[in-house]
Amino acid sequence: MSEKRILAVEIDNTLFDELDDFVKKNGLSKKQYVAEIIRANLAQSMKQEQEVAEPEITGPKGWDRPEVEKAIDDFILQNGRVPSQKEFKNENGLPSYGAAARALVEISPAQYANQRYNEICNIEQDAGFDIGPDMNI
């Protein structure tokens, strides 16, 4: 059994009477009620302190399939070619090659880029103009 200490708190008569009425209505003793309040308050304070001390660690933004597809399409339209594996990086407006592969799932980023390049080239030929590196749609 743990040691116990006494906590004496001076409160005004009105508050004491309200406390007395409340604990009687709820079938508690003042001791139980005060101990529960202190325990709950301390637990909440400790949780808040821990959240402040340990900020949520988040990694880089995750890429989903539509974002990856758009990024690859944009790269092809802006550069007139398929991106190389080394060009898959944020500074080129692309996710990493691994992130692109995770988002595309059933097709590699290289396969998707080649497929889209061929589709875009067919659209260009049908329309009768070329999309060069300096032209954007």
**Residue type at position 32:** Q
In a domain, 137, yes or no: no
Same domain, 37 and 70: no
In a domain, 39, yes or no: yes
In a domain, 96, yes or no: yes
> Does 2 have pLDDT greater than 50?
yes
Which structural domain range is residue 94 located in? 65-127
Same domain, 77 and 47: no
Q: What is the mean pLDDT of the chain?
A: 83
Query: Which pLDDT does position 67 carry in this prediction?
Result: 94
In a domain, 59, yes or no: no
In a domain, 89, yes or no: yes
Q: What would the mean pLDDT of 60-84 be, rounded to a whole number?
A: 91
Q: Who has greater pLDDT, 43 or 125?
A: 43
Same domain, 45 and 77: no
In a domain, 94, yes or no: yes
In a domain, 4, yes or no: no
In a domain, 8, yes or no: no
**Residue type at position 47:** K
pLDDT tens per residue, range 100-133: 999 998 999 999 999 999 998 877 665 555 555 5
> Does 136 have pLDDT greater than 50?
no
Q: Structurally, how many domains does the chain consist of? A: 2
Same domain, 71 and 122: yes
